[in-house]
C-alpha cells in the first residue's frame, strides 16, 4: 500500500480512486493505514494525504471477494483475496486486469498508475506491462 500512496501524485489529479479489499478486521486495516501514513510522512512528506489517496474496504465475510471470484481458501492464514488488480472506467467496465497466483506477483505501482491514468483519460492502457484481461 505504501508504494501506491507514493505513486498517488500520478493518479490523484485524475480523480482516480484506488480501493483495496481485506478480510482482516477493521482494527487491522486502521493499523495498516497508520503504518503507511507514518512511512509516507517520513519518506515523502510532500505527498498530500488529504484526501487519502486510497481506501481499504473491510470485507470480513469475503462477500465482495467471493463475488468477483478472487477468494483464496488455501492460504495458511485462512481465506484471503487472491492477488487481483482491476482498473475500471467510469462506466463500470474493466479496462485492465492483472490476476496472479501469488502475492509476490503484483503489478508495479508505477505500471498501475500509468494504466489507471490512461483509462481515466479515455485512452487504452499501456501494453508494455503484462496485463491479463
Q: Tell me the average pLDDT across 94-117.
A: 82
Of 8, 7, 17, 97, the closest CA to residue 57 belongs to 17
Residue 77 — very low, low, confident or very high, per pLDDT cuts 50/70/90? low
CA distance 76 to 81: 12
- Domain 2-120, what fold? Glutaredoxin (3.40.30)
pLDDT exceeds 60 at position 8 = yes
Range with the poorest average pLDDT among 14-18, 53-57, 70-74, 93-97: 70-74
0.85 cut: is pTM over it? no
Domain range summary for the chain, segments of one domain joined by +? 2-120
69: left (phi over 0), alpha (psi -120 to 50) or beta: left
Check whether the bond before 51 is cis (ω within 30° of 0): yes
Mean pLDDT of the chain: 82
Amino acid at each position: 500500500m505504501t508504494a501506491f500512496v507514493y505513486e498517488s501524485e500520478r493518479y490523484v489529479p485524475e480523480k482516480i480512486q484506488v480501493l483495496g479489499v481485506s478480510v482482516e478486521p477493521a482494527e487491522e486495516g486502521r493499523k495498516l493505514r497508520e503504518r503507511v501514513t507514518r512511512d509516507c510522512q517520513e519518506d515523502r512528506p510532500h505527498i498530500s494525504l488529504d484526501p487519502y489517496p486510497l481506501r481499504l474496504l473491510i470485507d470480513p465475510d469475503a462477500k465482495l471477494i467471493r463475488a468477483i471470484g478472487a477468494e483464496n481458501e488455501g492460504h495458511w492464514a485462512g481465506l484471503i483475496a487472491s492477488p487481483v488488480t482491476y482498473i475500471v472506467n467510469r462506466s463500470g467496465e474493466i479496462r485492465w486486469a492483472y490476476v496472479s497466483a501469488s502475492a509476490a506477483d503484483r503489478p508495479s505501482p508505477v505500471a498501475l498508475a500509468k494504466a489507471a491514468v490512461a483509462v481515466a483519460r479515455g485512452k487504452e492502457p499501456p501494453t508494455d506491462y503484462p496485463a491479463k484481461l
